[in-house]
Structure 1
Amino acid sequence: MDGNAEPGAAGNSGMAALFERDRTCRSLGISLDEVSAGHASMGMKVTDDMVNGHGIAHGGFIFLLADAAFSYACNSYGPVTVAQAAQVTFLAPAAVGDELVAEAAERSRSGRHGIYDVTVRQSTGKVVAEFRGQSVTLSGKPLGG
């Protein structure tokens, strides 16, 4: 995970361009591994700078990874779409060196509103967190505009 858009994302030039402008994800080494209509997969390696006082991954970084996958999934249709609300349930700790993958999937999309679920897993398959995001599409604002 080198913080670059991977081949699965490259087929969608709008998402690849959005990722190029995503300084937060890129600076944290988060990769955009795959994106298609209503779906996205992103990865992140937990570093020493991402742990809290207990020595485990800070929940804010796990939330950020899930939120990023949610963002790419709901923006995959083209118009600018933003979070209206989100919640996360942390199920297991992650440690330094863990390779995390966030898989976002659209559950419902109607008009300008959508609901997306994101599962964050360790490379072993163990679920670290479950995230649900609610999106709203901004009227008349093109992606990248």
Structure 2
Amino acid sequence: MKKRIDENEIHTKHYEEILNRVKNDPFAQSLGIELTRFEAGFAEAVLEVQSHMVNAYGTVHGAVMYTLADHAFSVACNAYGRTSFGLSTNIQFIESAKPGDKLTARATEVKRNFRIGFYRVEIFHGETLLATMEATSYRKDHYFIPLDENL
């Protein structure tokens, strides 16, 4: 019988290796998104809204907020070194932001099983909730880090 893998142990043991992989997202970096917290099933990322990130009304473009939320989600669902990708997302925009605002996205794992992970992402400017996103990830059989044989 195959031993069940303890993914929290993988996260702890391979933390630096996983962190280096998930934080080096070229698209997120091109927008100035910075990963500020990374834990098993949790990620926090920040972005300062630049003048070129607004829509015709002078408020932050929804695609920018979505990208920030999606990046935090991606980091959180890959926190165990297991290749995971977005299967479904649903975002609700509650408030707007403007250039100069510092946005913070926090992705929290709600539940995960062998194949699927469920996440809630919230975007804030200070204490003001700007958007929420519900996200589902698909978890492949593949780990993107080398695992020890005894795990």
TM-score range, shorter chain: 0.7 to 0.9
Contact (CA 8 Å) 2:17, 2:145: kept in 1 or not?
no
Alignment of 1:47-126 (within 5 A): 47-122=50-125, 124-126=126-128
User: Is the counterpart of residue 133 in structure 1 residue 135 in structure 2?
Assistant: yes
| CA RMSD across the alignment | 1.4
Superposed displacement of residue 17, structure 1: 2.5
Letter in 2 for 1:112: R
The runs of 5 or more residues in structure 2 that have no matched partner are: 1-14, 147-151
Distance in 1, matches of 2:62 and 2:137, equals 21
The DSSP-based 3-state class of the residue aligned with 1:69 is helix
User: Is the counterpart of residue 19 in structure 1 residue 20 in structure 2?
Assistant: no
> Structure 1 length normalisation: TM-score?
0.87
**Structure 2 equivalent of residue 5 of structure 1:** none
Contact (CA 8 Å) 2:46, 2:68: kept in 1 or not?
yes
Percent of residue pairs bearing the same amino acid type: 32
User: Is the counterpart of residue 43 in structure 1 residue 73 in structure 2?
Assistant: no
What are the superposed Cα offsets for residues 56-93 of structure 1, whole Å, 9 maximum, x if unpaired?
00000100000100000000011110000001000000
Distance in 2, matches of 1:138 and 1:100, equals 31
Contact (CA 8 Å) 1:80, 1:143: kept in 2 or not?
yes
Runs of 4+ off more than 4 Å: none
Distance in 2, matches of 1:142 and 1:105, equals 21
Letter in 1 for 2:144: L
**Structure 1 equivalent of residue 144 of structure 2:** 143
Superposed displacement of residue 111, structure 1: 1.3
The runs of 5 or more residues in structure 1 that have no matched partner are: 1-10
Residues paired across the two proteins, number: 132
Superposed displacement of residue 144, structure 1: 6.3
Contact (CA 8 Å) 1:18, 1:144: kept in 2 or not?
no
Instruction: Pick the structure with greater CA Rg.
Output: 2
Letter in 2 for 1:136: Y
Superposed displacement of residue 16, structure 1: 1.9
> Structure 2 length normalisation: TM-score?
0.83
